[in-house]
Structure 1
Amino acid sequence: MIKPWILGLTGGIGSGKSAVAAHFSQLGVHLVDADHAARWVVEPGRPALAQIAEHFGDGVLQADGQLDRAALRQRIFENPEERRWLEGLLHPLIGQEISQYLAKAESPYAILVSPLLIESGQHRLTQRVLLIDAPETVQVQRTMQRDNVPEAQVQAILKVQASREERLKYAHDVLLNDRDLGWLHAEVERLHNFYLTLRGGQP
């Protein structure tokens, strides 16, 4: 059996990655979500959670022993040094989780969905990169509506994520998601049919 090649799917917050990923999944493509892997590695009982609590103190844990993401996010957003420490701990562990799940793929190609595909170096696990792009004003509006958060918070997240220019440098394919869902699904199907013709992610 030919080993599936890996497509990296990325895009900034509010670009529509989830809608695109969901449609690829409906078409039978094996998906691995880096956000899910990031949650798994900090589950209670996993070594990463103990190291985080030791480093930041028990204030980043909830009463039931789960990670308090909001408290941790606040700590690292205010302090770039702490953010780098956390990324240094988690990125290799998340990479291992992702590789294990990608190895289970049985579709002709598999997709790694990751908002930080470029920033975390996860693009090195992939043979091709699909960027979901959207005008920044659209990203901000969508995220404010979806998460019910103020614009300043969305802007802060955008600042930490790679710029559009940076992502475009890595992208083999770009899907500009600024129309309706029907159009988006048609574009995903067009790309899917193209990807089925590829060997190892290259024409």
Structure 2
Amino acid sequence: MRVGLTGGIASGKSTVSAILRDLGAVVVDADLIAREVVERGTPGLAAVVEAFGDQVLTPEGDLDRAALGAVVFADPDARRRLESIVHPLVHQRGAELEAAAPAGALVVHDIPLLAEGDRAGSFDEVVVVDVPTEVQVERMVRDRGWTREEAEARIAAQAGREERLAIATRVLDNTGTPEELRRAVEELHAELAARP
């Protein structure tokens, strides 16, 4: 069983992913892989530097995520250029991790930008963690210390809520308590894990 898991920034997708991992699912985390494929010394980092210049590196030679983020979140063309470098590397590494999963495992691909690509149809189920946009903004301001403008810019850089819901085969509403979310994820996991 292959599951695509997505949700907008500050929707609680990472929390859902962690619960699924705790319940025994094999989680292939695109965010973690995206960091791995641009670590110091990788071809991915070399390609990013070639595209954006040395100003996206720290003095130690690591990717300066804040500097790169300032460039790509302000410029849709730059963001697409970055995605054209990183996404194929992430996809390849994700396929390797899935291939290494035990036979019959529930494999969950945690992909923040699933709605932006054309991969939703490759999964048996697509689970979208959903909250209203205003809740996303409130969480980023409260939990991450961002300004409202920064939060709104990040939301605008992702697919809209309607686009995510359009690819969903399951929707997890995360406007309730953490306990309610955990119960919903446990029920979903039990149902999906029982399917052949």
What range is the shorter-chain TM-score in?
A: over 0.9
After TM superposition, give the deviation of residue 29 of structure 1 in Å.
0.8
Structure 2 residue runs without a partner (length 5+): none
After TM superposition, give the deviation of residue 103 of structure 1 in Å.
1.5
Distance 1:48 1:108, change over 3 A: closer
After TM superposition, give the deviation of residue 122 of structure 1 in Å.
4.1
Structure 1 residue aligned with 2:11: 15
Structure 1 residue aligned with 2:129: 132
After TM superposition, give the deviation of residue 140 of structure 1 in Å.
1.0
Structure 2 residue aligned with 1:28: 24
The equivalences for 1:98-113 within 5 A come to: 98-106=94-102, 108-113=105-110
CA distance in 2, matches of 1:125, 1:15: 23
CA contact (8 A) 2:40 2:61 kept: yes
Q: Aligned to 1:59, what secondary structure does the other structure show?
A: helix
Number of corresponding residues: 195
Deviations 1:75-125 (A, max 9, x none): 122222222111111111110011111222226311111110121334354
CA contact (8 A) 1:7 1:109 kept: yes
CA contact (8 A) 1:91 1:120 kept: no
| TM-score normalised by the chain length of structure 2 | 0.94
| TM-score normalised by the chain length of structure 1 | 0.91
Q: Aligned to 1:66, what secondary structure does the other structure show?
A: coil
CA distance in 1, matches of 2:105, 2:34: 25
Structure 1 residue aligned with 2:145: 148
Structure 1 residue runs without a partner (length 5+): none
Q: Among the aligned pairs, what percent are the same residue?
A: 41
After TM superposition, give the deviation of residue 28 of structure 1 in Å.
0.9
CA distance in 2, matches of 1:120, 1:65: 30
1:96 aligns with 2:92: yes
CA contact (8 A) 1:42 1:49 kept: yes
Structure 2 residue aligned with 1:52: 48
Residue of 172, 178, 182 corresponding to 2:179 = 182
140-149 vs 27-36, which deviates more? 140-149
Q: Aligned to 2:61, what secondary structure does the other structure show?
A: coil
Matched AA of 2:43? P
Q: Aligned to 1:118, what secondary structure does the other structure show?
A: helix
Structure 2 residue aligned with 1:120: 117
CA contact (8 A) 1:144 1:150 kept: yes
67-76 vs 79-88, which deviates more? 79-88
Deviations 1:25-48 (A, max 9, x none): 111111111001110110111112
Matched AA of 1:165? E
CA distance in 1, matches of 2:121, 2:96: 15
Residue of 83, 94, 99 corresponding to 2:79 = 83
After TM superposition, give the deviation of residue 54 of structure 1 in Å.
1.9
1:171 aligns with 2:146: no
